[in-house]
C-alpha cells in the first residue's frame, strides 16, 4: 500500500516533467496503481489509519508524485457536510484533460499546500472557477464532466502535476495575496 515514503518531494526532477499519456486498453499495472492511489487517499482521511500509517490527509494524488511519469490522478473529496458520508468526487482519472473553462477565476481562501511540499507557501493560487474535463476511468470508460468550487480546484491542482507545475508557480511573487477584481474566494 502507498505511504508517505512513496511520495517524492520537491527537488525531485520528476515533479517538473510533463507526464506521458497512458494507452488504452489500460495495462493491469496501471489499473492496480489507480486503485492504490485512491486507497491511499481514503486511508489518509481515516483518523485511525492516518495515525497508524503517519499519513497527511489527502484529497488528491498524481502519479508523478509516486515517481511515475504517467497521466493518472486520483481524487477523493469528502462532502463538506459532515452528515453526508458520500464523497462529492471519488475517482481515478486516466489522461484527464481540461476541455474548456470559465472566464471566472477562483482560489482557496486558505491558499494551497501539497503532499510533495514539506513547507508552507502562503498566497492565493488563482485557478479557473469552473472546468469541463474529459478522462477515462479504471474500466476504460470515457467521461466528460463539469466541475466547480473545491472539486474544480483539486482536479486542477492534480492536472498541474501531470504538466510539471507546482501550486506555488501560480502565486504572485510581489504580493502573494493580491487578488484581481472578481476572483471567487472559496472558503
Ligand atoms: C497537501 C494537503 C494539505 C494534504 C492537501 N489537503 C488539503 O488541502 N485538505 C484536505 C485534506 C483532507 F484529507 C480532506 C480534505 F477535505 C481536505 C492535499 O491533499 N492536496 C493534494 C495534493 O497535494 N495533491 O498533489 C493539496 C490540495 C491543495 C488544493 C487542492 C489539493
Ligand atoms: Zn500536490
Percent of the chain clearing pLDDT 90 (strictly above) = 97
Residue 117: closest CA among 2, 4, 1: 4
- Positive or negative, the Cα torsion across 109, 39, 144, 168? positive
Residue-number span of the structural domain to which 75 is assigned:
4-185
Residue 41 CA to ligand 1 center (angstroms) comes to 10
- End-to-end CA distance of the chain, in Å? 32
- 21-60 pLDDT, tens digit per residue, is 999 999 999 999 999 999 999 999 999 999 999 999 999 9
Beta carbon of 115 within 6 Å of any ligand 1 atom:
yes
Alpha carbon 3 to its chain centroid, in Å, reads: 17
Q: Cα separations (Å) of 62 from 30, 48, 187? A: 13, 24, 24
Residues classed as catalytic: 158
DSSP state string for 100-150: EE-SSEEEETT---BTTB-S---S---EES-EEEEEE-TTS-EEEEEE-HH
Are the CB atoms for 46 and 97 separated by under 8 Å? no
Grade residue 82 by pLDDT with cuts at 50, 70 and 90.
Answer: confident
Q: Does 80 have pLDDT greater than 90?
A: no
Residue 124: closest CA among 143, 138, 111: 111
- 139-170 pLDDT, tens digit per residue, is 999 999 999 999 999 999 999 999 999 999 99
Binding site as annotated, residues: 114, 157, 161
C-alpha cell at 96: 484527464
Average pLDDT over residues 132-136: 98
Average pLDDT, the chain: 97
Strand order in the sheet with 142-147: 60-62, 72-77, 89-101, 131-136, 142-147
> What is the total count of domains within the chain?
1
Query: What number does the ligand 1 atom closest to the CA of 112 have?
Result: 28
- 173-183 pLDDT, tens digit per residue, is 999 999 999 99
Ligand closest to Cα of 77 equals 1
Residue 112 CA to ligand 1 center (angstroms) comes to 8
CATH number at residue 116: 3.90.45.10
Beta carbon of 27 within 6 Å of any ligand 1 atom:
no
Q: Taking the model in full, what pTM does it have?
A: 0.98
Amino acid at each position: 500500500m502507498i505511504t508517505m515514503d512513496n511520495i517524492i518531494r520537491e527537488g525531485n526532477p520528476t515533479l517538473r516533467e510533463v507526464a506521458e499519456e497512458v494507452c488504452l486498453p489500460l495495462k493491469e499495472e496501471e489499473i492496480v496503481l489507480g486503485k492504490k492511489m485512491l486507497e491511499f487517499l481514503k486511508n489518509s482521511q481515516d483518523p485511525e489509519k492516518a495515525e497508524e500509517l503517519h499519513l497527511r490527509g489527502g484529497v488528491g494524488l498524481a502519479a508523478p508524485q509516486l515517481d511515475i511519469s504517467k497521466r493518472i490522478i486520483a481524487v477523493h473529496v469528502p462532502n463538506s457536510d459532515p452528515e453526508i458520508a458520500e464523497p462529492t468526487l471519488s475517482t481515478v482519472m486516466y489522461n484527464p484533460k481540461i476541455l474548456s473553462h470559465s472566464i471566472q477565476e477562483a482560489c482557496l481562501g486558505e491558499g494551497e499546500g501539497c503532499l510533495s511540499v514539506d513547507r508552507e507557501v502562503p498566497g492565493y493560487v488563482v485557478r479557473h472557477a469552473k472546468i469541463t474535463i474529459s478522462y477515462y476511468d479504471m474500466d476504460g470508460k470515457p467521461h466528460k464532466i463539469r466541475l466547480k468550487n473545491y472539486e474544480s480546484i483539486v482536479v486542477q491542482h492534480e492536472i498541474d502535476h501531470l504538466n510539471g507545475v507546482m501550486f506555488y508557480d501560480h502565486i504572485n511573487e510581489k504580493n502573494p495575496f493580491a487578488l484581481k477584481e472578481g476572483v471567487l474566494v472559496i472558503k
